[in-house]
Structure 1
Amino acid sequence: MNNLYGKTIFITGATKGIGRSCALAYAEKGANLILTARSSDLLDSLKEELIRKYGIRVHTLVIDVRNSKDVEDKVKSLPESFKKIDILINNAGLALGLDKVYLASPTDIDTVIDTNIKGMLYVTSAIVPLMLKNNSGYVVNIGSIAGDAAYAGGAIYCASKAAVKTFSDGLRIDLVDSNIRVTNIKPGLVETEFSKVRFKGDLEKANNTYKGIDALTPDDVANVVIYATGLPENIQLTEIAMTPNHQADGRTVHREN
């Protein structure tokens, strides 16, 4: 049974990694999509691909989630046919560097906190009121097992993902008298451009992140998102932690030589 056909899905950070895989997975289910990212070229390319392959409706928004006014204005600009949003995927996020916290640059700190925390807050605050009008919806926040315990060099990123967890819990409490569900999905190692961004283009360092372990793929995470949001409406999965085999938590990884 396909509970996702015809639903409208809003995805941030939709052009790469987990966001792109979620877009493809929902499109395959016959859902219509609102895709957001900062690159208009990548959004246009993805939109064309999805319409060609699946014949769904796709609306794109060039948004920097760090800018509250931009988020508010772009959501308000949605056509009426896209304003009944059934599922929000707060996916946009990043890490920068593995410096000790007191050596991190203010610019990197601001970028991580503003994207991973404030961006999620801004988008949620713009979308949830639309869901409340229909007393239905689903908010999925892409967190990380890094939010459960810090690791060396990851204090800022880990703190941001701990915020995703507590925000998800608080939002679920605030919405407990509604039919809106909230899930925090917490992957471990996922092989995407995440590490390339973290190490600012240093491919050797990025590739070493996944060396010796069969990491999760963006499609693996998208499959879990699809599963959670496709369940009957009386079921709410509050939190899902997932890792590749041979990863026990954010710090414990067995790598084959």
Structure 2
Amino acid sequence: MRPEHPIVLITGASSGFGEAMARLLASQGCHLALGARRVERVKALAEELQKAYGIRTFAGSVDTRHTASVDTFVAEAVEALGGLHVIVANAGLASGTFKMWETPDEDLEAMMRTNVEGVVKTIRAGLPHVRKAGWGHVFFIGSTAGHQAYEGGSVYCASKFGVKAMARSLRLEVNGEQIRVTSVDPGMAETEFSNVRLKDDAKAAAVYQGVKPLTAYDVAECVRWCLMLPDHVNIDEIQVKCTDQAAVHKLHRRS
């Protein structure tokens, strides 16, 4: 049932976790469909990986907030690559550190539409093709914020608690099919996440001061490991944190 070279679709593949996953899975011989709003970045990445590893790639523009954008991207990717086996619903973001009553509509809608609606739209579009292939794996990229809430993160935490619920529900809904479902839930990781959230590079750098956080490749390795396990093994959830982080709010910072 498992193909020798699975076809993997990754949203949010222009940087961070998505780019790292693309690079690592390409090195394992996976064919890749890479999507992001920053389409020139994913096109360059797809071309680089195709040349480096001899895999087949497709790169396209996708904004997971919009159904038509997702449906078009998935359809074009499947047509170009000849099918689909693995979905990595990676696109997501945090915007601001507002208390609940201070959260502007712009930030509220950005997080809920991307982190919740975008995940549904991505999986809704891709799952029929995974079913047709007869073997597959769906990855949700959650967060430790989906397990423990914190001040200034009410909407972001709500969205990631939602991701956890969706992953658990889908796991029940596809039971009996040869489709695995995994949620990878990282803690502090140094990517563009804090730059996007805080809209200030100096403040973003301060988040990681005195800490050795996870890298994007640490999280990508979790995806690779789960994907490469024997077909009868499903890793439901992985919470992964750096050793300096004991909980969402508990960090060891070196002076």
TM-score (norm 2): 0.96
Partner deviation per Cα, 1:187-245 (whole Å, 9 max, x = no partner): 00000010000011x11110111111100000001011100111000000000000000
What letter matches 2:216 in structure 1? Answer: P
What residue in structure 1 maps to residue 151 of structure 2?
152
> 1:128–1:83: structure 2 CA closer, same or farther, 3 Å change rule?
farther
Partner deviation per Cα, 1:70-112 (whole Å, 9 max, x = no partner): 2112222335352421111111000011111111110110001
What residue in structure 2 maps to residue 69 of structure 1?
68
What residue in structure 2 maps to residue 37 of structure 1?
36
Q: How does 1:4-153 map to 2 (within 5 A)?
A: 5-80=4-79, 82-153=81-152
Q: How does 1:102-251 map to 2 (within 5 A)?
A: 102-200=101-199, 202-251=200-249
In structure 1, C-alpha distance between the alignment counterparts of 2:3 and 2:82, rounded to whole Å: 17
Any conservation in 2 of the 1:4–1:26 contact (CA below 8 Å)?
no
Two-structure CA RMSD over aligned residues (Å) = 1.3
What letter matches 1:14 in structure 2? Answer: A
How far the C-alpha of 1:45 sits from its partner, in A, is: 1.2
Aligned residues: 254
Same amino acid, percent of matched pairs? 37
How far the C-alpha of 1:246 sits from its partner, in A, is: 1.9
SS at 2:251 equivalent: coil
Gaps of 5+ in 2: none
Gaps of 5+ in 1: none
In structure 1, C-alpha distance between the alignment counterparts of 2:148 and 2:9, rounded to whole Å: 29
In structure 1, C-alpha distance between the alignment counterparts of 2:85 and 2:154, rounded to whole Å: 34
In structure 2, C-alpha distance between the alignment counterparts of 1:95 and 1:75, rounded to whole Å: 25
How far the C-alpha of 1:156 sits from its partner, in A, is: 0.7
In structure 1, C-alpha distance between the alignment counterparts of 2:174 and 2:98, rounded to whole Å: 38
Partner deviation per Cα, 1:51-80 (whole Å, 9 max, x = no partner): 221121110120100001221122223353
Any conservation in 1 of the 2:84–2:133 contact (CA below 8 Å)?
no
In structure 1, C-alpha distance between the alignment counterparts of 2:41 and 2:129, rounded to whole Å: 27
What letter matches 1:212 in structure 2? Answer: G
TM-score (norm 1): 0.95
SS at 1:177 equivalent: coil
What letter matches 1:127 in structure 2? Answer: G
How far the C-alpha of 1:134 sits from its partner, in A, is: 2.8
When structure 1 is superposed on structure 2, of 84-93 and 184-193 the one drifting more is 84-93
In structure 2, C-alpha distance between the alignment counterparts of 1:46 and 1:181, rounded to whole Å: 27
What letter matches 1:206 in structure 2? Answer: A
